[in-house]
Amino acid sequence: MAYYLVHAMGRGGSGDFEEREGRAARNFAEMAKRDGIERTVYLGGLGDEPRSKHLRSRQRTADLLAEHGPPLTYFRAGMVVGAGSESYRTLRYLVQRLPAMIAPAWLQTPTQPIAVNDVISYLVKAPDVIDSGSAEIQIGGPDILSYGEMLDRMAEALGIRPRRRVPVPLLTPWLSSLWIGLVTPVDAGVARPLVEGLSTPTVVTDPAGMAAFEIVPMGINEALRLALAEDPEVAPVRQIGVRLLPEDRYRVPATGPVESTDRAELLVPSPSRAVPGPAEIESLGRGYWEFVARRSGGVFRASEDESGRIRLSLRGTPLELLSFDPPRYEPLGEGSSVTWPITGGALTLPEGRGQGYLRFTLTRAESDAETTTLDAVMEVRGFYPLLRGRGLLAPVGALFYTLTQRVFHRAMTRAYLRSLGRSPASNRLDRVQRSG
């Protein structure tokens, strides 16, 4: 058996890479057949009727290997996520270097990325699963995302804010490749053909071949975490992956308390059976108020008195916006929580004082050989905001609260959850894992 993993795209080559790849594939196939090789294993690309030279060349290489050589096992994959992958490097550079980016139509194209470790597993198991004859196996990870979503996942894995995108529908893949060449150091001979293929969906349409291998591919979050951990340009500053999850509970009724929940998954790059205890929750809880003061640019000030009561106020004024009783720390089965009862302040209606609370919970979800997943949750319950109003104007007040105070609270909460992937919060979380 022989593995054919040759790619002639870019890297200083002269002439047409399609012609070079075709010539190399035919020469290899004829040599393998002449020398009695029983089977060739080849890794190509997904995508039917591709409009790019890159994907067309991948398919033509497979055709030439099958026509002129021994029986062919043809693996087809979309984006391979690994530290040495040019597709991965292009995404990373775009997210790291641009605070905002133009958004061509191809950012909506679906793809099904797969981790390089999983690709290797399929290649290694090929001799044991396929005995003879030719076979085509489409492989991919469990997640199907648009390229725009891939950029957001990369930002989350890096622990930075997802980049704003400005829609430019008429920006073609070819023009995009020129733009990417200006803002990333990825070899232009590689980046341009890759980007020109982004308008072609690269998803698994026939999963039957994958099933025979009994391999469970990792999700995109874990694939990105591993790639970043092995990336020599990133690993020294890589910390904890954070994925914000959709808000699963939110209510602003005309009467009754406000409720909201924001969640995140934290991928800590160390295995552990330890669970976050009250001491770690206390540290992270205090970090929340420090974060609010810092992130607001000093407009808001959080202070704590000797009894542990916390007051949120406008800096330079005696106006107390919200006040909280001393926090309550509670150990849970797989983690801990901290709860701040809301007791007053200008932003609270009198009837809600002492009824509502803000709670932060951190629990260990799972742990494998290389990582620990933690679930972080910020909840508001039983809160009666002043801006929601009373009586006949309550519905208007609910809308006003939603567009003002609630927007600020949610933005601050999600920013804090995202910050847990960076120092100093990430160092606290890492210590939780090592303590186990």
Q: In whole angstroms, give the CA distance from residue 312 to residue 355.
A: 18
Closest CA to 184 of 192, 172, 174: 192
* E strand intervals along 78-169: 80-81, 100-103, 110-111, 114-115, 135-139, 145-146, 164-167
- For residue range 93-107, what is the model confidence (pLDDT) as tens digits? 888 877 777 777 777
Would you call 298 exposed, middle or buried from its count of C-beta atoms within 10 A (0-12, 13-18, 19+)?
A: exposed
Residues sharing a CB contact under 8 Å with residue 380, sequence separation 6 or more, in sequence order: 258, 259, 260, 261, 356, 357, 358, 409
432 vs 205, higher pLDDT = 205
Using DSSP's 3-state secondary structure scheme, residue 341 falls into strand
pLDDT class of 415 with cuts at 50, 70, 90: confident
pTM as predicted: 0.55
Q: What pLDDT is attached to residue 40?
A: 92
CA contacts within 13 A on the Cβ side of 221: 17
Confirm if 341 and 359 have CB atoms less than 8 A apart.
Answer: no
27 vs 295, higher pLDDT = 27
Mean pLDDT (whole number) for 392-401: 81
β-strands 100-103, 164-167 pairing: parallel
Q: What pLDDT is attached to residue 342?
A: 93
Q: Is pLDDT of 234 > 80?
A: no
Mean pLDDT (whole number) for 227-243: 70
Q: What pLDDT is attached to residue 31?
A: 93
Share of the chain above pLDDT 90, in %: 22
Q: What pLDDT is attached to residue 325?
A: 93
Using DSSP's 3-state secondary structure scheme, residue 15 falls into coil
Q: In whole angstroms, give the CA distance from residue 227 to residue 221.
A: 10
325 vs 284, higher pLDDT = 325
Q: The tokens of 1 are what?
A: 């058996």
Q: Is pLDDT of 367 > 70?
A: no
Q: What pLDDT is attached to residue 13?
A: 46
Q: What is the CA radius of gyration of the chain?
A: 27
Residue 395 DSSP label: H
Mean pLDDT (whole number) for 11-27: 73
Residues sharing a CB contact under 8 Å with residue 22, sequence separation 6 or more, in sequence order: 57, 60, 61, 64
β-strands 357-367, 335-344 pairing: antiparallel
pLDDT class of 182 with cuts at 50, 70, 90: low
* E strand intervals along 208-257: 241-251
Most confident of 121-125, 285-289, 425-429: 121-125
Q: What pLDDT is attached to residue 116?
A: 94
77 vs 423, higher pLDDT = 77
Distances (CA, A) of 231 to 38, 74, 224, 225, 227: 36, 28, 10, 10, 6
Mean pLDDT (whole number) for 45-50: 78
421 vs 191, higher pLDDT = 421
Using DSSP's 3-state secondary structure scheme, residue 347 falls into coil
Tokens 């998803």, located at residue: 203
Q: The tokens of 221 are what?
A: 């979050």
131 vs 113, higher pLDDT = 113
Confirm if 227 and 84 have CB atoms less than 8 A apart.
Answer: no
Q: Is pLDDT of 137 > 60?
A: yes
7 vs 370, higher pLDDT = 7
Closest CA to 15 of 28, 24, 3, 26: 24
Mean pLDDT (whole number) for 210-214: 89
Tokens 């308008």, located at residue: 199
Q: Which helix (H) or strand (E) holds 118?
A: helix 116-129
β-strands 310-314, 320-324 pairing: antiparallel
Cβ-based neighbour number of residue 157 at 10 Å:
27
Q: Which helix (H) or strand (E) holds 34?
A: helix 17-34
pLDDT class of 401 with cuts at 50, 70, 90: confident
Q: In whole angstroms, give the CA distance from residue 291 to residue 45.
A: 45
pLDDT class of 30 with cuts at 50, 70, 90: very high
